Amino acid sequence: MTRQDPIIVWFRQDLRLADHAALSAAVESGRPVIPVYILDDAAPGAWRMGGASRWWLHDSLKSLSRSLADLGSRLILRRGESAAVLDKLGHETGAAAVYASAAYEPWARASEARIDPKLFEGATLHSFDQIRTEQGLPYRVFTPFWRACLKAEPPARPLPSPRSIPAPAGWPASDKLESWRLTPAKPDWAGGLRETWEPGEAGAHARLARFLDTGRVGSYGEGRDFPAHEKTSRLSPHLHFGEISPRQVWHAVSALPGAGDGGRQFLREVGWREFSIHLLLHAPHMPEAPLKADFEAFPWCEDAAALTAWQRGLTGYPLVDAGMRELWATGWMHNRVRMVAASFLVKHLLIHWRHGEDWFWDTLVDADLASNAASWQWVAGSGADAAPYFRIFNPTMQAEKFDPDGTYIRRWVPELARLAAAHVHVPWTAPREVLAEAGILLGETYPRPIVDHAAARARALAAYERIKKAA
């Protein structure tokens, strides 16, 4: 090993240059740096990246690649099993070491065990094992967890982006990004995604700046529940891909004069992301199995037709359908609507939360193993600090409360657009003339409810009784 043996910086879910401790350390070592991203679809136990995520990844890698080029560097792309690829690349380049950001997925941690990279924190506000109860145990309830986070040392100051990155004498070969075919071709379903998002580090910071500048932070507490208005930050996909770090978000919000209560509530949502990661680290089976074991015996229904209706936004409940169509069109769904739509699948249709988890994994641009699994289990009632199973959302009441004039519903369910606010949440109760006037033929242009709310509620409670007795 000589002074000129390069360091490989292995990018994963940290597709940024600023506040990237591994990259900064590699640059500071004075050695040449070889940035690499590996598309690893074959890792044992891995959840293969979903369609929307692959679309995002393509653009984010393109952006990272350009930013590296601006600093005199390159992004080397390789495909295959991570350990084997890094091993090979190490031999090709004579690399002295691999630097990477610590990751939290079980398969990522498993591959680390074979590669033994030098790991740097940055995916979370605090290092993974720092937050523990008095007894040294992981938290199972959010509020004390978050209280402990707030009491701990404040998150480290974000690092600046390197000003230049030393290049190796010669570059190893790289795949062409296009050859990975991450973006859809036939059919091209990504139009709505392109219109909605700007993947990459610059896009992430633009989102954050927009959130802070427009004063949305201050009114976040009141505004965040109304899906018709863009009151949330929409940073989730950027955070998932690590285009911006939670520490950067934390410090930007904390430094904002007058962020006040809204700022605290917003950071609390960032806290739920931390909590999900915390849970996954201590329960690696969380994506596949209920955290509360008695839910293993829950009498789920297999109902392919109902699942398809839910996926396509054809349940007959306008708020659920609007959310599912927003998801399909843009790769994202407002959080309030996610809770209602998820609750509908699990409680009204009695379909296993894993089917919902799979669909969200494939369609969300912010699909994240920890957040997705923890949130589905939260809704289903089988998770840590979960909503009790008997807490069943009434999709109509939720719609009337959080989309009172029906703006959100009309945006995503255009066949209901001509219904007045009095009918738009309950088209099945609208008088025949009103429906005709609005150009709606129930059961033809828009479905009748696929389940009756009161009956579905009773059925869900009865199902819950069965595991409660068994336990």
Partner DNA sequence: TGAAATGTTGGGGCG
Partner DNA sequence: ACGCCCCAACATTTC
Q: Which positions are annotated as active-site residues?
A: 269, 272, 300, 335, 353, 376
The correct pick among 5, 175, 269, 415 for binding DNA (CB under 7 A) is 269
- Best CA proximity match to 11, nearest among 57, 69, 47: 57
SS3 33: strand
Cβ-based nearer residue to DNA, 14 or 321: 321
Cβ-based nearer residue to DNA, 126 or 348: 348
What secondary structure letter does DSSP report for 8? E
Tokens coding 313: 């936004």
How many CB atoms are closer than 10 A to CB 25? 16
Cβ-based nearer residue to DNA, 310 or 389: 389
Binding residues for DNA restricted to 272-311, rule: CB under 7 A: 272
* Smallest distance, DNA to C-beta of residue 262, A: 15
Q: Which amino acid is at 28?
A: E
Binding residues for DNA restricted to 348-387, rule: CB under 7 A: 387
Cβ-based nearer residue to DNA, 109 or 453: 453
User: Would you put residue 393 in left (φ > 0), alpha (ψ -120 to 50) or beta?
Assistant: beta
Binding residues for DNA restricted to 442-461, rule: CB under 7 A: 453-454, 457, 461
- Verify cis geometry, omega within 30 degrees of 0, for the bond prior to 160: no
Cβ-based nearer residue to DNA, 60 or 236: 236
Dist. CA 349–CA 459, nearest whole Å: 9
Contacts 24+ apart (CB under 8 A), 386-389: 386/291, 386/292, 389/347, 389/460, 389/464
* Binding mask of the shown chain, residues 306 to 335, with x at each position contacting DNA by CB under 7 A: -----------------------------x
Dist. CA 285–CA 291, nearest whole Å: 8
Question: Concatenated DSSP letters for 334-365?
Answer: -HHHHHHHHHIIIIIS---HHHHHHHHHHH-T
- Best CA proximity match to 225, nearest among 198, 267, 265, 270: 265
Question: Residue 415, exposed/middle/buried by CB under 10 A (0-12, 13-18, 19+)?
Answer: middle
The correct pick among 336, 354, 423, 425 for binding DNA (CB under 7 A) is 336
* Smallest distance, DNA to C-beta of residue 373, A: 15
Q: What is the sign, positive or negative, of the torsion defined by CA atoms of 166, 171, 175, 178?
A: positive
* Binding mask of the shown chain, residues 223 to 262, with x at each position contacting DNA by CB under 7 A: ----------------------------------------
Dist. CA 216–CA 97, nearest whole Å: 44
Cβ-based nearer residue to DNA, 111 or 315: 315
The correct pick among 142, 328, 344, 360 for binding DNA (CB under 7 A) is 142
* Smallest distance, DNA to C-beta of residue 155, A: 20
Cβ-based nearer residue to DNA, 24 or 232: 232
Cβ-based nearer residue to DNA, 47 or 142: 142
* Smallest distance, DNA to C-beta of residue 320, A: 12
Binding residues for DNA restricted to 383-402, rule: CB under 7 A: 387-388, 390-394, 397-398, 401
Alpha helices in 364-402 (DSSP H): 369-380, 395-402
144, 385 Cβ separation under 8 angstroms: no
* Smallest distance, DNA to C-beta of residue 273, A: 10
Binding residues for DNA restricted to 400-419, rule: CB under 7 A: 401
* Binding mask of the shown chain, residues 26 to 65, with x at each position contacting DNA by CB under 7 A: ----------------------------------------
Dist. CA 121–CA 130, nearest whole Å: 12
* Smallest distance, DNA to C-beta of residue 338, A: 9
Tokens coding 220: 């976040």
Q: How many chain residues touch DNA (CB under 7 A)?
A: 20
326, 293 Cβ separation under 8 angstroms: no
Residues at the contact surface with DNA, assessed by CB under 7 A: 142, 269, 272, 335-336, 339, 387-388, 390-394, 397-398, 401, 453-454, 457, 461
